Amino acid sequence: MKRISLSYYILSVSLLSVFSLQQSYAQSYRQERALENRIVDAVSDFNDGRYGEAAEKLESIAAADPDNDAAHYYLGMADFLQNDYAAAEEELQAAVRLDSTNFWYRYRLAAVYAATDRKELTVDIYNGLLRDFPKKSDIYYSLIDLYLSMGRLEDALSTLDQIDTVFGKNDISIMTRFDILRRLGRQEEAYQVLEAYNREYSSPQVLSLLGDYRMSMYDDSTALAFYQEALDIAPDFVPAMLGKSEVYRMTRRYDDYFRTLDNFVSDKDIPSQGKCDYLKALVQHSDPNFLSRFQPSLDSVMTVCMAVHPADSAVTALAGIYYYGTGRPEKSREYFLENVRNWPESVWAAANYAEVLMYTGDWKELSSFTKEAYGKFPDELAFLEMSTLADYNLKAYDDVLATCSRIIAVAPDDSARTLTAYTTMGDIYHHVGEKTRSYKAYEQALKINPGYLPVLNNYAYFLSLDGKKLKKAYSMSKVTVEKEPDNATYLDTFGWILYLQGKSAEAKPYFKHAMLYGGKESAVTLDHYAEVLFDLGEYSLAFVYWTQAQAKDTEGEIPGLEQKIRQRKAEMNKRLK
């Protein structure tokens, strides 16, 4: 057998080792590249919002390579966005353990703690991030928001000190400090901070706040100077413009006021919503005498605003509010109707028009419009409820009943609406003389809410009118006066039931109490009290209340009242003989 030299053998072994190492390295490289490709594929799913698919792939990667921090991070984010906070926390904690220097790993873990309301843990991470990444300005403000939510106002101020040290003062930091100091009740210091900042920097926002402060101190001239300085820097800065106009209004410089107001509404660069907010507040909170005295000027302001923002729904609605508030309901309706026509798909526009129809008492138009609106917006049952109000006032009782049945059929699980529907049906059925149906409707309402006072009162009162089931009526009515002891209507019902049970002495205190809380405005309550007093032999006082009842019974609510009073006088005369 041929011998192989030792040197040749060693060389062969060496070559084999090198070849083996190369193969091993190549295989490792291929595996690494395959893993990277799988991560890229999973991240692509994540970025496209396919979080479930991304999570499945990332779980597989993390299982194969537990030390892959990126896999744990993206898996944690996928879990987080699927609201699985426990799994997200576990994966992000793993990512942080593997690479604690990565900003995003720690930041997203803080987001999990914040989402699960663990504020102290969130604070710890934010403070750690700021130690390692002191230039991350957004973290400072996130930390401040967190401190404010925890009531740690002094810590929030300390964080602002850090912002000023690292970045210098700016409008955001100074306004935040101002708000915190005011929350701490340190008002004077808060404004001193603004004044100190104003000596170094020019800020329209700070100048406007200083103007507001001076206005509150009745220092009109200084306030005006601050507002004007703000406007010199930013001519369209709305708070300064409105502040300036308010100085003129409060000091009765009305020519200057309306000139400034005209400039405000005619500026096309100022959003319409800001104009609407101010003018709406002006109309709703101004003295009626002011609105009346300066109506031509205010009309002009509205005209200019409408011209600058034609077909803007908010401005058109504002015009409707303005004309309604100044006693011109027909003109108001025109603008709300214009919004409906311009924005036929807007439920907001439809609701506003329905409301103005209700306030102006146009029941026929309200009935028609709300039914049409419900057909267009079938999720808005409020339109059907408004149609029942319109139909009731039109005395279209069948339509009211049909609409209530429709509401119950459409929204059987909406307890508030079905309760109202059954209550309305009970009232209407009794009004048209269908007592059995009325009481059945009330029973359905009480199944939904056994303690619903309007139904308990009406049901009890109607039973008392029948003179039947007075014990049941007593029990229901007693609940109402216990819950609302100052409600004159409930007191009247309970007192009347006591009277019918032969307990006039017990009934009297309830009627006396009702007289103190509006009972004197009801002809029925006055009549009932007179009956109780007559039964107790207090004739003079009884006829005093009957006289008041006659004066209040302008619509004939109590049939035969005059004849009854004559009969009672005859009875009194017999008793006194």
**Structural domain harbouring 87:** 16-116
Q: What is the pLDDT of residues 349-385, one digit of tens each?
A: 999 999 999 999 999 999 999 999 999 999 999 999 9
Whether the Cβ atoms of residue 445 and residue 426 lie closer than 8 Å to each other: yes
Q: 88 lies in a domain?
A: yes
Q: Looking at the predicted structure, is the pLDDT value of residue 58 above 90?
A: no
Mean pLDDT, rounded, for 474-486: 97
Final residue of a structural domain among 73, 97, 116? 116
> Between these two residues, 2 and 510, which has the higher pLDDT value?
510
> Between these two residues, 57 and 535, which has the higher pLDDT value?
535
How many other CB atoms are there within 10 angstroms of residue 47's CB atom? Answer: 10
Cβ burial of 310 (10 Å; 0-12, 13-18, 19+) is: exposed
Q: Looking at the predicted structure, is the pLDDT value of residue 13 above 80?
A: no
Where does the pLDDT of residue 194 fall: very low under 50, low under 70, confident under 90, or very high at 90 and above?
very high
CA distance 237 to 73: 45
End-to-end CA distance of the chain: 161
Tokens of 340: 């409906």
3-state DSSP call for residue 47? helix
Where does the pLDDT of residue 325 fall: very low under 50, low under 70, confident under 90, or very high at 90 and above?
confident
Q: 429 lies in a domain?
A: no
Q: 535 lies in a domain?
A: yes
Which amino acid, one-letter code, is at 517?
Answer: Y
Residues of the chain with pLDDT > 90: what percent? 70
Q: 409 lies in a domain?
A: no
Which amino acid, one-letter code, is at 195?
Answer: E
Mean pLDDT, rounded, for 496-522: 96
Where does the pLDDT of residue 15 fall: very low under 50, low under 70, confident under 90, or very high at 90 and above?
very low
> Between these two residues, 468 and 397, which has the higher pLDDT value?
397
Final residue of a structural domain among 85, 116, 147? 116
Where does the pLDDT of residue 547 fall: very low under 50, low under 70, confident under 90, or very high at 90 and above?
very high
3-state DSSP call for residue 333? helix
What's the total number of domains in the chain? Answer: 2
The predicted pLDDT at position 11 comes to: 44
Task: Give the helix/strand (H/E) hosting 562.
Answer: helix 561-576
Where does the pLDDT of residue 3 fall: very low under 50, low under 70, confident under 90, or very high at 90 and above?
very low
How many other CB atoms are there within 10 angstroms of residue 334's CB atom? Answer: 15
Q: 529 lies in a domain?
A: yes
Tokens of 386: 């408004």
Tokens of 114: 């914040």
Q: 548 lies in a domain?
A: yes
Q: 539 lies in a domain?
A: yes
Where does the pLDDT of residue 575 fall: very low under 50, low under 70, confident under 90, or very high at 90 and above?
confident
CA distance 226 to 242: 12
Cβ contacts of 403 within 8 Å, gap of 6 or more: 384, 387, 388, 391
Q: What is the pLDDT of residues 414-452, one digit of tens each?
A: 999 999 999 999 999 999 999 999 999 999 999 999 999
Final residue of a structural domain among 116, 150, 172? 116
Whether the Cβ atoms of residue 506 and residue 526 lie closer than 8 Å to each other: no
Q: Looking at the predicted structure, is the pLDDT value of residue 56 above 60?
A: yes
Greatest pairwise CA separation for the chain in angstroms:
161
List, as own/partner pairs, every contact residues 108-116 make where C-beta atoms lie below 8 angstroms and the sequence separation is at least 24, other chains included: 108/73, 108/76, 108/77, 108/80, 109/76, 111/80, 112/76, 112/80, 112/85, 112/88, 113/89, 114/146, 115/80, 115/85, 116/85, 116/89
CATH code where residue 21 lies: 1.25.40.10
CA distance 404 to 104: 57
Q: Looking at the predicted structure, is the pLDDT value of residue 33 above 80?
A: no
Q: 51 lies in a domain?
A: yes
The predicted pLDDT at position 205 comes to: 92
